[in-house]
Structure formats: structure tokens, C-alpha cells
A and B are shown apart, each in its own frame.
Chain A
Amino acid sequence: MEYFTQQLINGLTLGSIYGLIAIGYTMVYGIVGMINFAHGEIYMIGAFIGIITFSLLGAVGITWVPLAILLVLIVSMFFTAVHGWAVERIAYRPLRGSFRLAPLISAIGMSIALQNYVQIIQGAKIKPMQPVVRGNIPLMEANGFQVNISYLQIIIIVLTIALMAIFSLIIARTALGRSQRACEQDRTMASLLGVNVDRTISLTFVMGAALAAVAGVMVTMYYGVIDFFIGFLAGLKAFTAAVLGGIGSLPGAMLGGMLIGLIEAFWSAYFSIEYKDVAVFGILVVVLIFLPTGLLGKPEVEKV
């Protein structure tokens, strides 16, 4: 039971990170109908900007941890969003309206290009970082096993829930969110109602990238090391989370992220850590066989 609770906490932490990344996949898919395979790299760039900002803040003497984290988040979200925006402008917008596979190929190219870009300017070696937030809260103890939740885990989980709530509200209630949903459902009609479709798509990439940046910063603090290749597997798993939850569905991405995190944590704990990635993708395959639209995918029964 204690062991189980500990894995639950670890899984939710991991799931938060996957969920934050998955939202970017699902929102972009919803609005332009393509998988942005460069999104994993956007997350990786968020992590790098985070680590750079941490060391800059250290150099100028800003060491009060809450302030430092807040500043790092803001800086990373901003500059990562700029990258997300640029990816759309450079690699996808010129291809809008061309054949279906074109943006997909462009996405894969973009993904490789971004990896190389970071590798060249930051080096191929792993980048370590001193722990910023230390300490645990012991939750329970039995049979010599202690269940802990670290302060960092609390920060990750709470921040994720807060951001997801804010994003859900933006999508559901604001004019921007309505425009995004309108573009998703009928782009031509949206433009007839005065929506600047290109700008709305850009903003969707920006929002997805900002969330991925938060995930990147959190991962850097959580694991303490990053390299230019972390975007690949994390991106693939977050994409899996988005598909598992139902691609295009915002709550689906959040749920899918959490589930992937939990599966990974429990599989590593009870079965074998070597096969945790296999387990994640295996479960995806099984779910898709029985629920092709994912767990919360929208049923396509509407008369138009």
C-alpha cells in the first residue's frame, strides 16, 4: 500500500509533465489537423532556456527560490513560445493548402533541425543543474517504507492543475478560445465572421509551446539533467497521451498524460523498468483497437 501510494505520487508528477506537452499536440491537431512532430523539440528548447535562465539569475544574484522559479518560467514560456510561433511560420504556414503529407514531412524535418540547432549552440553533452527545490514531506510510514512527496512534486502537480484549469477556461469562455474552436470546426466560416485565421493558428502554436516550456522547466528541476535529445521520447509519449485521450480533445490530453505517467510509474515499479516504454506504447495499441477515437475523443455524429 505504501509502495503503491509512492508510485501514485511519482506517476502523477510524470503525468503532469506529459499532460502539459500533450495539450500542444492536441490543440494544434484540432485547429490545423496535423501532428506537429517538432513539438517534442519545443519542449526540449523550453528546458534549455530554463536552465540557461537559472544560471543567469544565479549570476546576477537572484537566489530567492520562488522568485527565481517564477522568472525562469516566464522567460522560458516567452522565448519558447517565440520558437513555436517561428516553427509555424517557417515550416507549416507556407504549406497550408498543399497535399496532406507535406506538413508532416516538414514537421519531421523541423524536429531534426531544432535538435541540431540546440546541439550546435549548446553542445551535445548532457547539461546538469543543481537542485533548486529540496525537501520532502513524509506522508506515511509502515514496514520500514516511508512515503514521501517532495516539495518539487507538489509544485509540479499544483502548477499543472492550475495551468490546465486556466487553459480550459480560455478555450471555453474567451473570444480567443471561441475563435480557436470556430477555426477547428469551419475555418472558412470563421473568416467570414471576421476571425483572422492565420493569427488564431499562430496563437495556438504559441499557447502549446508555452505549456511545453513549463514542462521543460519542471523536468529540468526534477531530473537535474537535460540534453538536446530529450524531446524525442517525451514528445512521443506526450503524443501517445494525446491519442490515448482522444486527439483534438483538451480534457483528453490531460487525462491521457496522467494515465501515461501512471502506467509508466507502476510498470517500472511492479514489472520491469526496461520495458516501461514498451508498456506505454503497448497500452496505446490496445486502447486504439477498442476505442479508435481515444478515451474522450469526440463522436463524429452530427448533422451539418
Chain B
Amino acid sequence: MLRLSGVHTFYGRIEALRGVDLTVEEGEIVTLIGANGAGKSTLLMTICGNPRARRGEVRFEGHDITQMPTHDIVKLGIAQSPEGRRIFPRMSVIENLKMGAQNFGLAHFDEDLDRIFRLFPILKDRQSQRGGTLSGGQQQMLAIARALMSRPRLLLLDEPSLGLAPLVVKQIFETIREINQRQRVTVLLVEQNAYHALRLAHRGYVLVNGRISMSGSGAELLANPEVRAAYLEGGHV
């Protein structure tokens, strides 16, 4: 479904991705783990064309999207809940959700809203509250919800558990599983919370300094001593 081949991405002269190969098949949950600064967020943003890959190729369902404008890439069925959540602070919860839907057609809006409110009941209570005044956990749910409003086939999630209480983290991960199983949305999940992510995912990749250093099934990576040492026991949350 998604294939990155030999992708290099730069910020000015800093090379953040140094030849990344990665694939995601339809229906999977794939996780990408790695330390802070490894290039995980850059990889998700490169898929969406901002920043753009300087070398290599990004393909989605047969389309070469490497040079496509961001707003066209997402219309192929890719949605991202980006690093830092990026909720529109001066828009209400409802307006944030409308932003998620409006460029993909508002025909299913009410139906999708019901579905989202069943997934995240707290958002229903906060409908008219401004995004900037929500708590971190609520903003995270809103960011995922907003991404789902476009009915994506591929959902890119950047550290959805960051800064959240353990109970909320659990809820978010359950929701991801539900989205994947019930709504058949393929998920590429970036996490520092490697334990939860690898348990959830079908497959995983480990990113070190802009390169993929390991890949395998979630269970394999969980059992791998190097992964355990670096991401599970080394104090990384």
C-alpha cells in the first residue's frame, strides 16, 4: 500500500533521513520506534511531502507521490495526526473536526461525527470548546478524530501517547486497534512507548539516526535483546 525506497530528507544541510526503505501493507498496523531525534516525525511528514524527499521515492497505492503537493497527497486517502497534535487553537472542537472532513466532502459528516463521538465521548461534551483550551489528552483524541474524519485508508500517528496518563494511553491504544480492526484503516504508528506499540503492531521498524536498523514482527522485536536494551529497559518511556 505504502512503499518508501531509498528516501533521503534534509533540513537545510542536516540529513534527517539517510536512505529509508519501509513498506506498509493494507490492513496492517506497522510501528516505527526510535529514540528522540532519530527522524520518526520527519519520516511521517516526508510521506505527506513536507519536507519533501530529496532523493528516493514514496509510492502510495501505485501513485508516485514523492513530488505531489501535500493537499493532493492526503486526498489519496492518507491522514496524519502529527507531532505536537497541531489542534487549531482558536477553533471549536466541532470546527476542528469539520476541517478534517471538509476537503473530502461533507456528505458523511453527521454520520462520521456520531461514530467519532462513540469512539471519544469526551469530545461530544466539549463540542463547542476552543481547541486551545483542551487538556493534552483531549487534544490527542481530537487530533486522531480529526484525522479520521477524512475516512483515510492509511492513518499516520505521531506519538499519540506522548505526555498522557497511563490510563489514557491504554485507551488510545485500544482505540487504534479498534480503528484498525473495525474500520479497516491501515496504521503507521510512531512511538517512543515501544512496549505498547510493539504489542499492538503486526510489524515494526527501528529507526536509528535516519536509518532503519531493524525490522520484524512486533513479537520478534519485543523479544530482541538489542531492542529490549535500547528501547524497553534503557529508561526510554
Contacts and interface: CB of A to CB of B under 8 A. Distances in A.
A58 B233 CA distance: 85
A304 B87 contact: yes
A197 B86 CA distance: 16
B88 A181 contact: yes
Nearest to A196: B71
A180 to B, nearest CB: 11
Interface stretch (B11-19, B90-98, B183-191): B90-98
Interface stretch (B74-82, B201-209, B218-226): B74-82
B98 A192 contact: no
A191 B103 CA distance: 10
Contact of A197 (B71, B75, B87, B102): B71
Given A181-B88, A181-B90, A194-B104, A302 B70 contact: no
Given A302-B132, A303-B132, A304-B132, A193 B146 contact: yes
Interface string A81-107: 000000000000000000000000000
B133 A302 contact: yes
A194 B132 contact: no
Nearest to B102: A175
A285 interface: no
Contacts of B99: 178-179, 182, 190, 193, 195
Given A189-B82, A304-B132, A194 B75 contact: yes
Interface string A194-219: 11110000000000000000000000
Contact of A304 (B71, B79, B89): B89
Given A175-B102, A178-B99, A191 B50 contact: yes
Task: Report the interface size class on chain A.
Answer: 20 to 34
Contacts of A302: 89-90, 130, 132-133
Contacts of B133: 302-303
A116 B130 CA distance: 47
B103 A194 contact: yes
A49 to B, nearest CB: 33
A178 B50 contact: no
A188 interface: yes
Interface residues of B, number: 30
B91 A193 contact: no
B192 interface: no
Contacts, number: 76
Contacts of A195: 71, 99, 103
B31 interface: no
Contact of B70 (A178, A179, A191, A303): A191
A188 B50 contact: yes
Nearest to A176: B102
A185 B87 CA distance: 9
**Taking each of B50, B82, B88, B150, which has the highest tally of chain A beta carbons within 10 Å of its own beta carbon?**
B88
**Taking each of B102, B104, B130, which has the highest tally of chain A beta carbons within 10 Å of its own beta carbon?**
B102
Interface in A242-294: none
B50 A185 contact: no
Interface in B124-141: 130, 132-133
Contacts of A178: 91, 95, 98-99, 102
Given A178-B99, A182-B99, A304-B132, A189 B88 contact: yes
Nearest to B90: A185
A128 to B, nearest CB: 47
B132 A186 contact: no
B160 interface: no
5 contacts: A188-B82, A191-B50, A194-B71, A194-B74, A304-B132
Interface of A: 175, 178-179, 181-182, 185-186, 188-197, 298, 302-304
Given A175-B106, A185-B91, 18 more contacts: A178-B99, A181-B91, A182-B88, A182-B91, A185-B90, A186-B86, A191-B69, A191-B74, A192-B79, A192-B86, A193-B150, A194-B74, A194-B103, A194-B104, A195-B103, A302-B89, A302-B132, A304-B132
